[in-house]
Chain A
């Protein structure tokens, strides 16, 4: 195996472009999955089967089909119905949607973990239902699920290369393009591999710091 430092320096401008896209996917995808997952979790608590049944079926379906299939579906099938987004937007929506079906279960566990006495105290103080959720239940539920949510962020990071399949030039996409043009595979793939490790590590450090702050 020949290691060529000049190939590394040639690749770096493309790497930074790819890194930026990967981080964009990760940040926006996380926000979508956190927001949407909470919506699913709350909808599943609506005391009506007309709500919980369809939400349950849809989220179960999304969770149990491959992300790659969902990416292709959103990218190639939606335009046939005249719904078109950029590849990046499609990717962010797909990955956020996919992971929201995992985060919803995290939220559910967090919500169920809030002691029933908290609900009772809220009733005894006559707090309205919405206020009970926003001021009492969710702050406690979310605090206890931050570590689990963080693990899904790291998991999502490792799924971002799938977006290459719908032409998004994130890190792997850039590396592949560079490799094909220059017939140098080792250097770009190694660089992005190291980048993935560093991002995961930094993310887990940030997560631990956040956990410590939340626990006091």
Chain B
């Protein structure tokens, strides 16, 4: 059913069949430019939602708001019933534990080994013992195919390898939501497939909720339960990928898809 992850402001987090993320009447401006305009949307647990649309339409802003890298000007944001905005710093810190993010530029810590990149937060934030964290990190490195790179520094890895480490680092915190912000845009073309295959695997084999901004339409079609088409800070069309990509209703969606496909 196409509405289960999407604009559905009546549903409250407690009853709504595992609703995990909720934005209500969120407005975000940069100066006089309104990037998000009174936006409502919700994502159910376990769903994979892809945000598409022209650049500047507000997709990345949503991910950055959810990661608390930006503050909304108005509106409320909750994750798993916990407040992100408005909230005290303590509430926000608590709620943020549910969320992990993978960045376009990887943002690995260059001063740490690959292993330390992954164990740092589980030890200092979740309070895992060093052994537990290392074991968890090694399992994840194994999963992303980089078990032999434990002791390497990020600068010694290719972009694709760095991004896979970044994915492992985010997953090591066992977040309920994984935010993927154009994670293949900075990669050389031949390295894109490896990262996307890994994300397909994660989407298929885990129950993690994914919110994904991408220009890889084939990938979006493969993993998404729901595709949201953004334009000028609003969701102008939403639905399962087969519908959005095959029979879009909105002119702007048609224009956008014909430009990128």
Contacts and interface: CB of A to CB of B under 8 A. Distances in A.
Contact of A136 (B97, B100, B109, B155): B109
Contact of B121 (A117, A118, A127, A143): A127
Most buried by A among B108, B111, B169, B170: B111
A120 B173 contact: no
Given A140-B110, A143-B111, A123 B68 contact: yes
Nearest to B64: A120
Interface string A100-130: 0000000000000001011011011111100
Would you list the 8 A-B pairs with minimal beta carbon distance, nearest first?
A: A125-B121, A121-B107, A117-B107, A124-B101, A139-B111, A126-B125, A131-B124, A117-B105
Given A124-B100, A124-B170, A126-B97, A118 B124 contact: no
Interface of A: 115, 117-118, 120-121, 123-128, 131, 135-136, 139-140, 143, 216
A131 B124 CA distance: 8
A127 B124 contact: yes
Interface string B88-106: 0000010011011101010
Contact of A121 (B93, B108, B111): B108
Contact of A120 (B103, B111, B170): B103
A135 B116 CA distance: 10
A140 B109 CA distance: 9
B67 interface: yes
B155 A127 contact: no
Contacts of A136: 109, 111
* Secondary structure of the A contact surface, majority rule: helix
A127 B120 contact: yes
Interface in B52-67: 67
A126 B89 CA distance: 12
A123 B67 contact: yes
A177 to B, nearest CB: 48
A117 B108 CA distance: 9
A124 B67 contact: yes
Contacts of A123: 67-69, 96
Contacts of B67: 120, 123-124
Interface in B93-147: 93, 96-97, 99-101, 103, 105, 107-112, 120-121, 124-125
A193 B207 CA distance: 73
20 contacts: A115-B107, A117-B105, A118-B107, A121-B103, A121-B108, A124-B67, A124-B100, A124-B103, A124-B170, A125-B120, A125-B169, A125-B173, A127-B125, A128-B124, A128-B125, A131-B124, A135-B109, A135-B124, A139-B111, A140-B111
Nearest to B122: A125
